Structure 1
Amino acid sequence: MSKVTNLNQFRKQQARDKKRAQGDVNAAKFGRSKAQKSLETAREEKAQRDLDGHQRESGDE
C-alpha cells in the first residue's frame, strides 16, 4: 500500500520552504543587523582616529 499524503500539509510545507529560501536570499542581499552595522561604523571611525593620531604634522622646521 502506498502512504497517504495530506495535500494541505504538503502545500503548506512547500510554501514554508519557499518563504525560507526567499529569506535566505534576502539575508545574503541585505546582510547585517543594525547592531552589527553600528559596531562596524564605530570600529572604522576608531581606526581612522588612530591613523590620524599617528600622522606627522607638516611644519616649517
Structure 2
Amino acid sequence: MSDIINLNKARKQKTRAEEKAQADAYAVKFGRTKAERLLTAAREEKARQRLDQQKFEDE
C-alpha cells in the first residue's frame, strides 16, 4: 500500500521551500554582510578624505 500523507503539511512544506528559494535568490542579488557594508563605507570615506586633501583653493 502507499503511504498516507497530510496534504496540508505537504502544501505548507512546498510553500516554505519556494519562499526559501526566493529568499536565497534575493540574498545573492542584494545581500551583503554587515562587515562588507562597513568595509565599503570605510573605503569610500577614506577615498573622500584623500580627495579633499588633494584639493587646493584659488584665492
TM beyond 0.5: yes
Give 1:24's aligned residue. Answer: 24
Larger radius of gyration: 1
Q: % of aligned pairs identical?
A: 53
Per-residue deviation, 1:34:
4.3
- Counterpart check, 1:38 vs 2:38: yes
Alignment partners' CA distance in 1, 2:34 and 2:4: 46
| Structure 1 outlier segments of 4+, above 4 Å | none
Per-residue deviation, 1:9:
0.3
**Normalising by the residue count of structure 2, what TM-score does the alignment of the two structures yield?**
0.64
Per-residue deviation, 1:43:
3.7
Per-residue deviation, 1:39:
2.2
Cα RMSD (Å): 2.1
Aligned pairs, how many?
49
**Normalising by the residue count of structure 1, what TM-score does the alignment of the two structures yield?**
0.62
Give 1:7's aligned residue. Answer: 7
Alignment partners' CA distance in 1, 2:5 and 2:31: 38
